Copies of this chain bind each other. A is one copy, B any other.
């Protein structure tokens, strides 16, 4: 038995060490692991002498060579210092830093019911169609695609998107100008870097808008100017030095109007006059319930508009796939900026999306969900007409949400808090204004978010919050 006297001796005598060495598979690996753990956990301290390999081998009843090999490995890794003829010690720099290992986070809290804006019904995600598309993609993709070389994204998806967007949204696209992204936010971050690197300092963003977009632009080093929105949608930027504007022409987010025809022309004229760029965020352009949707603004002038889309609303945000259709002049710089930022969608999922589009399963899913959301919107509006005539419904029959304008005196924050107390997640309008002070209050009702079987209960909960 090794004499007691130092921490290292206590450790060498410990039951934990014996158990570790006996329990695990390879004895050498087990011993190494136990020593590493002891050093990290403070059971062995820097400069502690550890038993000779001979002594420890006897103590543990294992071969001396095994202990010597473990010591050599740990010396190579910097845990131990072994000098010929001298006692092996814990290396001076190998501290016990195990200290605080934070617990695994609690699972996403979230409220039981949700009318959050911007979310589709993810329970409707076409799992079998997606799996079939993945299978076909994996079955047919040449291996060379698994080591992609084109930073714009998989060519087959860019080709498919060019066709799809031309057909469904009137976008003027060719595959060479399509950049695949990890969703709209990723694309916006790339564009902001491009504009900032090109010497611009400011971007105009609709007021109100999705607040994350302001944060992304600021994060990329741009100053954000509010671009007012009236009944005809975004106004034409008037501030000097503004050459980029982010707009939502098909369905203003969150207010829900469509960009008026004259305003479309005026925005394009502005971009041409200043040599500027419009970023068209077509986040829910496939969901229009009353008419044929308006074609994309980009179709009017593909040289001055970046068209941006995503599967986050049509399929699921978790897929992290979006796209930009770029003016020719931005293709190279935006591709380089994407490479520098390093985000990219899995090529297998890119091929699967192309496959989903090629087989028509994507369109079928869009049609199916379009009917579902349209019905939900109708139900919501019926309920509101009956129960809450004091609320004004804003916006066209489109998309995944409506804004309910509150009458003066109604307290937006109190309503949102009351909803939360009833277990219903819901947002007010305040976070979406650049400066909420003095702005009209409202509630954003994302009727697409709940699973189908919970929609009735969610609406009922909402109604009781308003009562």
Contacts of A419 in B (CB 8 A): none
Known: A125-B146, A363-B10. A155 touches B104 (CB 8 A): yes
B97 and A302 contacting across the interface, CB-CB below 8 Å:
yes
- Which parts of A353-379 form the interface with B (CB within 8 Å)? 354, 357-361, 363-364, 366-367, 371
Main secondary structure of the interface of A (DSSP, over half): helix
B345 and A346 contacting across the interface, CB-CB below 8 Å:
yes
Copies of this chain, tallied across the complex: 2
Instruction: Determine how close the nearest CB of chain B comes to the CB of A455; give it in whole angstroms.
Output: 14
Contacts of A328 in B (CB 8 A): 100, 102
A268 and B299 contacting across the interface, CB-CB below 8 Å:
no
Contacts of A172 in B (CB 8 A): 40, 97-98, 101
* B-binding segment of A178-186, A274-282, A459-467: A178-186
B182 and A147 contacting across the interface, CB-CB below 8 Å:
no
Known: A143-B123, A360-B6. A104 touches B342 (CB 8 A): no
A292 on the B face (CB < 8 A): yes
B78 and A354 contacting across the interface, CB-CB below 8 Å:
no
Bound CA–CA A167/B358 (angstroms): 43
Instruction: Determine how close the nearest CB of chain B comes to the CB of A383; give it in whole angstroms.
Output: 23
Bound CA–CA A146/B320 (angstroms): 10
A65 on the B face (CB < 8 A): no
Q: Contact flags (1/0) for A115-142 with B, using CB distance below 8 Å?
A: 0000100110101001110110111111
A15 on the B face (CB < 8 A): yes
* B-binding segment of A69-77, A406-414, A436-444: A69-77
Known: A92-B265, A299-B40. A22 touches B292 (CB 8 A): yes
- Which parts of A335-353 form the interface with B (CB within 8 Å)? 337, 339-349, 351
Instruction: Determine how close the nearest CB of chain B comes to the CB of A26; give it in whole angstroms.
Output: 10
Residues of A in contact with B, size category: 35 or more
A107 and B15 contacting across the interface, CB-CB below 8 Å:
no
B130 and A138 contacting across the interface, CB-CB below 8 Å:
yes
Instruction: Determine how close the nearest CB of chain B comes to the CB of A189; give it in whole angstroms.
Output: 4
Q: Contact flags (1/0) for A268-310 with B, using CB distance below 8 Å?
A: 1100100000000000000000011011010111110000000
Contacts of A343 in B (CB 8 A): 182, 186, 341-344
Contacts of A144 in B (CB 8 A): 107-108, 110, 122
Contacts of A190 in B (CB 8 A): 342
Contacts of A241 in B (CB 8 A): none
A292 and B18 contacting across the interface, CB-CB below 8 Å:
yes
Contacts of A367 in B (CB 8 A): 9, 13, 55, 59
Q: Contact flags (1/0) for A167-178 with B, using CB distance below 8 Å?
A: 111101011110
A189 and B269 contacting across the interface, CB-CB below 8 Å:
no
Which chain B residue lies CB-closest to A337?
A: B219
Instruction: Determine how close the nearest CB of chain B comes to the CB of A458; give it in whole angstroms.
Output: 15
Instruction: Determine how close the nearest CB of chain B comes to the CB of A323; give it in whole angstroms.
Output: 13
Instruction: Determine how close the nearest CB of chain B comes to the CB of A451; give it in whole angstroms.
Output: 7
Which chain B residue lies CB-closest to A100?
A: B328
Say which residue of B134, B337, B347 sits within 8 Å of A318 (CB atoms). B347
A209 on the B face (CB < 8 A): no
B292 and A15 contacting across the interface, CB-CB below 8 Å:
yes
Bound CA–CA A213/B265 (angstroms): 44
B170 and A358 contacting across the interface, CB-CB below 8 Å:
no
- Listed A/B pairs (6) with beta-carbon separation below 8 Å: A104-B140, A105-B150, A108-B149, A131-B134, A145-B318, A321-B346
**Which chain A residues have a beta carbon within 8 Å of chain B's beta carbons?**
3-10, 12-16, 18, 22, 29, 36, 40, 55, 58-59, 61, 73, 75-79, 81, 91-95, 97-98, 100-108, 110, 119, 122-123, 125, 127, 130-132, 134-135, 137-150, 154-156, 159-160, 163-164, 167-170, 172, 174-177, 181-183, 185-190, 215-216, 219-220, 258, 261, 264-266, 268-269, 272, 291-292, 294-295, 297, 299-303, 316-321, 328, 337, 339-349, 351, 354, 357-361, 363-364, 366-367, 371, 451
